[in-house]
Amino acid sequence: MDAAKYIWMNGEFKPWHDAQTHVLSHTLHYGNGVIEGTKAYKTKDGYAIFRLNDHTTRLKESAKMTLMDIPYTVEEMNEAQLELLRRNEFTGDNVYIRPFAFLGYGIMGVYHKNAPVETVMAAWEWGAYLGEEGLKSGIKLKIASMTRPANTSNMGKAKATANYLNSQMAKYEAIDCGYDEALLLDDQGYVAEASGASFFMVKNGQIITPPNDNSLVSITQKTVIEIAQDMGYEVIHRRISREEVYIADEAFLTGTAAEITPVRIVDARTIGKGSRGEITEKIQSTYFDIVFGRNEKYKHYLTYI
Ligand code: PMP
């Protein structure tokens, strides 16, 4: 990864390599931590963070779900992220921001109430998550052999580090089999989400995306629904089965890091023409206009640093 200059840790800016923790930190052993993935783009008026308040609010809510008390308000964490971008003096087109909270050193054993909560905001320049070529030509998606854990035994709506063991296993399997990304079904066999992004498909002009029954409540998914409806498309939030994915006219993934990534193959079936679909392309170009500050109507989603 590309190191930056500073990381905000527990209220202070530290040089990148000095933001450290003890090897006996609680989260390293028992996996309770919460993360965000937020992105800033270089607009003609400088860097602007996309939907900053929504991301920071989700971090606070994830922490509430996993019983961690982050000792900073959403406003304080928003300000820390803005100042982080100013101090790091980035130059690239976009910057990925990783706010997170974890349990630090001092307590062992599963019961975590007395473990100290450490709060961190880091940022660095990061290229396209699923590759530049993926954004243009589409990626190959494999339905993972593992499903998302059932709602009776996990909290998929928390952006909790523990949930990413499931994502990691699925992603590793997909890449090992020659694909680019994994699509996970829920425990009932319906599409849940990709390992780090949400799923959309197009059939007969309708745009369909799964409800968030067993997935993160994605900020990009909400944005894409709004964009598509504004363009006059009908967007349906409903369960999707595996077979429907195979015969979709178009498919794409959405996420802060994945942005709008077309899907060209799922499990050896070619989707549509096997390239970026027409509706996908329209949504993708509108999304980039929005995040780069070129669309007045959505300017309220940008916080300039
Ligand atoms: N699902 C998972 C599992 C993710 O990790 C992400 C990325 N944060 C998403 C969906 C997309 O969420 P968002 O649009 O809020 O980035």
Q: pTM of this prediction?
A: 0.97
**Is the CB of residue 238 less than 8 Å from the CB of residue 211?**
yes
Which CATH topology does 6-125 take? D-amino Acid Aminotransferase; Chain A, domain 1 (3.30.470)
For the chain, give every residue range classified as CATH 3.30.470.10. Answer: 6-125
Testing ligand 1's pocket by substitution, the residue of 218, 225, 256 carrying the most ligand atoms inside 8 A of its CB is 218
Mean pLDDT, rounded, of the chain: 97
Nearest CA to ligand 1 atom 5: 196
Multiple choice CATH, 132-291, 3.20.10.10, 3.30.930.10, 1.10.3720.10, 3.30.428.10: 3.20.10.10
Over residues 63-79, the pLDDT tens digits come to: 999 999 999 999 999 99
Rg (C-alpha) for the chain, rounded Å, is 19
Q: Tokens for 260?
A: 């709008």
Rounded Cα–Cα distance for residues 267 and 117 (Å)? 42
- Other beta carbons within 10 angstroms of residue 243's beta carbon come to 8
Q: Pick the catalytic residue: 159, 171, 282, 297?
A: 159
CA neighbor of 200 nearest in space, from 166, 238, 170: 238
Nearest-atom index, ligand 1, CA of 220: 14
Q: Tokens for 249?
A: 């006219």
For the chain, give every residue range classified as CATH 3.20.10.10. Answer: 132-291
**Is the CB of residue 213 less than 8 Å from the CB of residue 151?**
yes
Confidence of residue 104 (pLDDT cuts 50, 70, 90): very high
Beta carbon of 196 within 6 Å of any ligand 1 atom: yes
pLDDT value, residue 128:
85
Determine the Cα angle at 223 with ends 142 and 126, to 5°: 60
DSSP E strands in 67-131: the ranges are 94-103, 117-124
Active-site residue flag, 159: yes
Distance 218 CA to ligand 1 centre (A): 5
